[in-house]
Structure 1
């Protein structure tokens, strides 16, 4: 367990600056331009695809993606950015990889990116610690992107934090009857819609360079429509995680990417 030393300017937006902040990984990511992405644990195919496209585009432009390490939108945002250019904020101690389904993803981020937590080692997630986690996720980003969320969902707490911090909120445009929370934000004028991903990314890309961030080789491999046996042999652990999270499906013995 490592303790973050020094002051992090972005965290001044929080109601109370963290008394302690623990980490494992690359603290240099805190110096980058950062965008926070949150959303449903069970996103639609449309939201999964756009979240992956957005986080990948941000990472290609050297912008770090911040999220909460949960299933669904969080995991897709981390994977799209590539584990070397993402920060995962945990509702538990950094030595606990929660949720278990994302254990390998969080371990990859720990080795190549950055895990952050306000909780000491061995602390296990509780309902209130998710709220603490959400505030930190929102504070770190220049803006908050809500990929998909329903009214009364956990993502509403992140939205509330963003509004209190006077952070701009961006959402994907959804059809009527879908993602009720983000549609309500648009209706009330409290959020802006992302209609063009490249245009959105360009707003935050302060320095154009040719730095190539590590891409998700596994998802690129799945897009070639390999056989299940080929995928299992090359990526024995990731294949099960991706199928459970809905990122891939198995049809007629072949792997198909859902993103």
Structure 2
């Protein structure tokens, strides 16, 4: 039996509006959002300080701050679509997703909330899947569903849709790269409707947002973050499914791979994952046996990170830290050591650069100038 986080958060309507305004403002991602709210105590207070912080970071243009009118319009559209905007710790927010570093402050949920609080296993793979791969994904999803797991995937063609269709009755979750009203691919609109009827769909994007290429890796972190483990059924060497597997490993999730013929390029990525240490699986029992000890440990929401605005950098601090940054990513720990400044000072400068649109954050604690 999975032990999950109990709902400990409940936003007021006013707080939800402020949270939405903050996360929809320019250059505010989930990590920046959390840093600002932790420091200033509320999203409303953070909104008031955004112009000053962006100016200190060297913003070259006016930062767009989401207006109350626009936020209310989004809330009204979400309600019309049957979408609820849920914060980490509130009922219906996937417990495991709530503890990752870049968990969305507000997650758009359509469908049943109960399915999102059950233990999830992600199944992903090639869009151009083989017949054998599609059959295996279906059988795996069916067996996992019968064992009490919810299958989560990305609604894509191929392996994703096969896993979703086989687990509709037992419960499946579709993670969308665009807004809830922007189904991709369009031919899966009927499949999504069937998923929502007995399961759920989630997205961090606003209604009307059509998915772009860069949105799919962001979606992939939600797939892996919501799950106990990720199963890659088929994947070429440059497959997006391998991005999901990499993110899963960074998030501390289990990574499983289905072996395939060395002669089939659709199995090259999964075979390579196995070489790198992914767990080889041939049926659902392999997965269940591996995740049972993890499920028994339970989940707790993390304590807030060190306040990144605890330090007050002066002009020389900023000049030194910015001078160490460039287009090549550098580890945050190395940046702190080379700058000879406190972690709080360095994090403050990075946050200012972030708000000014001058910083790019990479996986594994790497940062670079945008």
Q: TM-score range by the shorter chain?
A: 0.7 to 0.9
1:147-186 counterparts in 2 under 5 A?
147-178=233-264, 179-186=267-274
What SS does the corresponding residue of 1:50 show, helix, strand or coil?
A: helix
Quote the residue 2:71 is aligned against. none
1:201-212 counterparts in 2 under 5 A?
201=288, 203-204=290-291
Q: Distance in 1 between matches of 2:166 and 2:268?
A: 25
The Cα RMSD (Å) is: 2.0
Residues 1:3 and 2:85 aligned together: yes
1:191-222 per-position Cα deviation (integer Å, ceiling 9, x unaligned): 11112333434555799xxxxxxxxxxxxxxx
Q: Distance in 1 between matches of 2:101 and 2:205?
A: 17
Q: Give the deviation of 1:172 after TM superposition.
A: 1.0
Quote the residue 1:88 is aligned against. 174
Q: 1:97–1:107: 8 Å Cα contact kept in structure 2?
A: no
Q: Distance in 1 between matches of 2:105 and 2:275?
A: 38
Residues 1:77 and 2:77 aligned together: no
Q: Distance in 2 between matches of 1:83 and 1:124?
A: 29
Q: Distance in 1 between matches of 2:160 and 2:104?
A: 22
Which residue among 199, 218, 228 is the counterpart of 1:142? 228
Gaps of 5+ in 2: 1-77, 79-83, 296-370
Residues 1:200 and 2:294 aligned together: no
Distance 1:112 1:195, change over 3 A: closer
Q: Give the deviation of 1:10 after TM superposition.
A: 1.1
What SS does the corresponding residue of 1:123 show, helix, strand or coil?
A: coil
Quote the residue 1:52 is aligned against. 138
Distance 1:196 1:83, change over 3 A: closer
Q: 1:91–1:132: 8 Å Cα contact kept in structure 2?
A: yes
Residues 1:26 and 2:96 aligned together: no
Q: Distance in 2 between matches of 1:188 and 1:202?
A: 21
Q: Give the deviation of 1:83 after TM superposition.
A: 5.2
Larger RCO, structures 1/2 (Cα 8 Å, 6+ apart): 1
Q: Give the deviation of 1:6 after TM superposition.
A: 4.3
Q: 2:183–2:189: 8 Å Cα contact kept in structure 1?
A: yes
Q: Distance in 1 between matches of 2:117 and 2:223?
A: 15
1:78-132 per-position Cα deviation (integer Å, ceiling 9, x unaligned): 0111155000000011122221111100011122210100011111111111111
Quote the residue 2:102 is aligned against. 16
Quote the residue 1:114 is aligned against. 200
Q: Distance in 2 between matches of 1:83 and 1:72?
A: 19
What SS does the corresponding residue of 1:88 show, helix, strand or coil?
A: strand
TM-score by length of 1: 0.74
Q: How many residues align?
A: 206
Moved over 4 A (4+): 202-207
Gaps of 5+ in 1: 208-259
Q: Distance in 1 between matches of 2:120 and 2:259?
A: 22
Computing the radius of gyration over CA atoms, which structure comes out larger, 1 or 2? 2
Question: Which one is further off, 82-91 or 60-69?
Answer: 82-91
Q: 2:230–2:254: 8 Å Cα contact kept in structure 1?
A: yes
1:173-252 counterparts in 2 under 5 A?
173-178=259-264, 179-189=267-277, 191-201=278-288, 203-204=290-291
Quote the residue 1:127 is aligned against. 213
